[in-house]
Amino acid sequence: MERFSLERNGSTLILHISEELDHHMAMQVSRTVDTQIEKGNLKTLIFDFTGMTFMDSSGIGMVMGRYRKMNFLGGQTFVSGIGDGVDRIFTMSGLYRIIPKYEERIQGA
């Protein structure tokens, strides 16, 4: 069963994940995404959470950790496909102050 998938489009990497995102899952996803980041030539990283039914605070750590790596390399990070459950977690943690929704990004920024 496909638990998450990566889509590479030029310098953009999209991670699609709808599996329940806890500490266990976050460790696996982080490793996979980091391998791609370390390959280089990545300008934009998008976390697509479409269909995600569950996330705990480990999801925040996972997104923030990848954001730090992308930021260090001069790239941008976005989140996308946010449902109610994930939105509540991100809002409470203040994540949107650092990582915008892809749908609400400022074009050309």
Partner 1 sequence: MKKENEITFIFDSCSENEGLARTVLAAFIARLDPTLGELSDVKTAVSEAVTNAVIHGYEGKEGKITIHSRIEGNTVSIEVSDQGVGIPDITKAMEPLYTSKPEMERSGMGFAFMEAFMDDLEVVSTEGEGTTVKMRKTIYSALNLS
Task: Catalog residues that contact partner 1 under the rule CB under 8 A.
Answer: 20, 22-24, 26-27, 30, 54-58, 60-62, 64-65, 84-85, 89, 92-93
Contact 49, 18 (CB under 8 A): yes
Q: Closest approach of Cβ 97 to partner 1, in Å?
A: 12
Q: Closest approach of Cβ 9 to partner 1, in Å?
A: 26
Q: Closest approach of Cβ 57 to partner 1, in Å?
A: 4
In the bound state with partner 1, the residue whose beta carbon lies nearer, of 11 and 91, is: 91
In the bound state with partner 1, the residue whose beta carbon lies nearer, of 42 and 95, is: 95
In the bound state with partner 1, the residue whose beta carbon lies nearer, of 41 and 71, is: 71
d(CA 46, CA 59) in angstroms, rounded, equals 14
Nearest CA-CA partner of 93 in 54, 67, 57: 57
Measured CA distances, 16 to 29, 48, 94, 107 (Å): 10, 5, 22, 22
